[in-house]
Chain A
Amino acid sequence: SQQGEEDPQALSIQEGENATMNCSYKTSINNLQWYRQNSGRGLVHLILIRSNEREKHSGRLRVTLDTSKKSSSLLITASRAADTASYFCATAPPGGSQGNLIFGKGTKLSVKP
């Protein structure tokens, strides 16, 4: 069963704008990760936030985590056409096997030049 649900399913913006994607999950987590997938390619890890963290930055990426609401958001600032991809959140439940992740269905981001 899938744990994370991304919102929106699809997002289209202009280059230079910020893109915000949200992820909601159902059970408690050890950590939450965001991955990026270019069309038809393998997933690439972007950023990980632990359950005791509220915000994390990496370059133009900002991730927040609200464990009380069981939600996370990924913000991409000053987007570029090269950011066009699908973005997935993945959760690591504390009761599950270490290393196993449960992926959401993804948000498809299109950045127009």
Chain B
Amino acid sequence: DADVTQTPRNRITKTGKRIMLECSQTKGHDRMYWYRQDPGLGLRLIYYSFDVKDINKGEISDGYSVSRQAQAKFSLSLESAIPNQTALYFCATTSGNWGDTQYFGPGTRLTVL
């Protein structure tokens, strides 16, 4: 089974709708991340969490919120979706030790009409 899973894998929604993207990991790591990927822009960090009680904003947090329900679960919400939030969203996790890598989920393709 995959170490990091994301649901849904694809979602089409309308402007103004509330959307939640979910992420679960079985690596046992404390640190979890949400990234957004747009063509030609690489990955940009939305939010990250070092543990259940530690949530931090990333580079592009406006319009997004997150919830760390447990060590293994980290959800991203779009309270009122807008078309420029159409993108590929990735969740990742890492141990946080220097030299460790990040382990990515398969991504959620979100389209906001």
For B53-75 the 0/1 string (1 means CB < 8 A from A) is: 00010010000000000000000
Query: At the interface, yes or no: B102 with Cβ under 8 Å from chain A?
Result: yes
Closest Cβ–Cβ distance, residue B41 to chain A (whole Å): 6
Q: Interface of chain B, helix or strand or loop or mixed?
A: strand
Known: A31-B99, A40-B109, A98-B97. A2 touches B42 (CB 8 A): yes
Query: At the interface, yes or no: A12 with Cβ under 8 Å from chain B?
Result: no
- Partner of A48 from the list B59, B101, B105 (CB cut-off 8 Å) is B101
Q: Which residues of the other chain, A, contact B31 by a CB distance below 8 angstroms?
A: 99
Known: A31-B99, A48-B101. A104 touches B107 (CB 8 A): no
Query: How many Cβ-Cβ contacts under 8 Å join chain A to chain B?
Result: 62
Chain A interface residue bracket vs B? 20 to 34
Number of contacting residues on B, CB 8 A? 32
Query: At the interface, yes or no: A78 with Cβ under 8 Å from chain B?
Result: no
- Partner of B42 from the list A31, A33, A98, A105 (CB cut-off 8 Å) is A105
Residues of A at the B interface (CB closer than 8 Å) are 1-2, 9, 30-31, 33, 40-45, 48, 50, 88, 90, 92, 97-101, 103-106
Given contacts A33-B101, A98-B96, A99-B97, 17 further A-B pairs with CB under 8 A are A30-B98, A30-B99, A31-B98, A41-B106, A42-B4, A42-B104, A43-B104, A45-B101, A45-B102, A50-B99, A97-B50, A97-B96, A99-B94, A99-B100, A100-B48, A103-B42, A104-B42
